[in-house]
Amino acid sequence: MLVIPAIDIKDGKCVRLYQGDYSKVTVFSEDPVEMARHWQNLGAPLLHVVDLDGAKAGRVVNWDSIRAILREVEISVEVGGGIRDVDTAEELILDGAARVIFGTVALRDPGLIQEAAMRLGEAVVVGIDARDGLVATHGWFNISDIRAYDFARAMVGMGVTRIIYTDIERDGTLTEPNFVATAEMVATVPVPIIASGGISKIEHLEMLRDLGVEGAIVGRALYEGKIDFEEAMERVAGE
């Protein structure tokens, strides 16, 4: 299982939100590029980079920071936040992103996701953020009436080959992941699932591995030292 460090960018800085609340921000680094290098040096195979300003604005905002990360690190990077059209996704891939993450637009325009999957193949990932099992959109501000696992299956039908599942109520809380919802997602959706939200200790990573997720995105727990990245990699990566 992959352990994937998260780099969330707001106002050009590396931050974490609490339960997706833009008013509850903790800044962990003034330099996202240096943070990306840090995780690369520790052996991270993949980085999860999200433009929080972009998710809120509906367009990529932190282009400079994202491009600098893609230019400066050699490991794979997946990028999300504000990607609302195929041309933007393609531009990010041309800039060096290994994967692009579609969020809000996937619910509003499934046809766009189908077009993206046809043009960009396995580089297309759909991020499904949920509260109480329902899909959230627009930077987590709006809650739909669509069940997360139903939506995931619909996206697979559009050609998507990987899903990132985040439980908003757990994200940034250092409590624990929503294991029940994650297990349901893994059991009912026939593509690799990457889990996110609430991971606060290595045992959580081991439990997620045992559920069958492909990877786990970790943010606050790494930045606050709750999880030692190298130890986590040793205990769960590749098993």
Q: Cβ(135)–Cβ(128) under 8 Å?
A: yes
Per-residue pLDDT of the chain (239 residues; tens, 9 = 90+): 999 999 999 999 999 777 666 777 888 989 999 999 999 999 999 999 999 999 889 999 999 999 999 999 999 999 999 999 999 999 999 999 999 999 878 998 999 999 999 999 999 999 998 888 889 875 455 777 899 999 999 999 999 999 999 988 655 555 789 999 999 999 999 999 999 988 999 999 999 999 999 999 999 999 999 999 999 999 997 54
Strand bridging mode 142-147 / 46-51: unpaired
Give the closest residue to 185 by CA, choosing from 205, 159, 155: 155
DSSP line for 43-91: T-SEEEEEEHHHHHHTS---HHHHHHHHHH--SEEEEESS--SHHHHHH
* Chain centre distance of CA 26: 18
Q: What is the pLDDT of residue 103?
A: 87
What 89-94 contacts at long range (C-beta under 8 Å, 24+ apart), as own/partner pairs, is 89/116, 89/120, 89/123, 89/124, 90/119, 90/120, 92/60, 92/66, 93/120, 93/123
Taking the alpha carbons at both ends of the chain, their separation in whole angstroms is 6
Classify residue 173 by its DSSP letter: S
Domains and CATH numbers, the chain: 2-236 (3.20.20.70)
Q: What type of residue sits at position 66? A: I
Q: What type of residue sits at position 52? A: L
- Dihedrals phi, psi of 140, to nearest 5 degrees: 75, 15
Q: What is the pLDDT of residue 176?
A: 85
What whole-number distance in Å separates Cα of residue 128 and Cα of residue 49?
15
What whole-number distance in Å separates Cα of residue 165 and Cα of residue 26?
22
Q: What share of the chain is helix, strand, coil (3-state, %, to 5)?
A: 40, 30, 30
pTM: 0.92
- Rg for the chain (alpha carbons), in Å? 16
Which residues form the catalytic set?
8, 129
Give the closest residue to 102 by CA, choosing from 47, 35, 152: 152
What whole-number distance in Å separates Cα of residue 161 and Cα of residue 99?
11
Tokens representing 237 are 């990566």
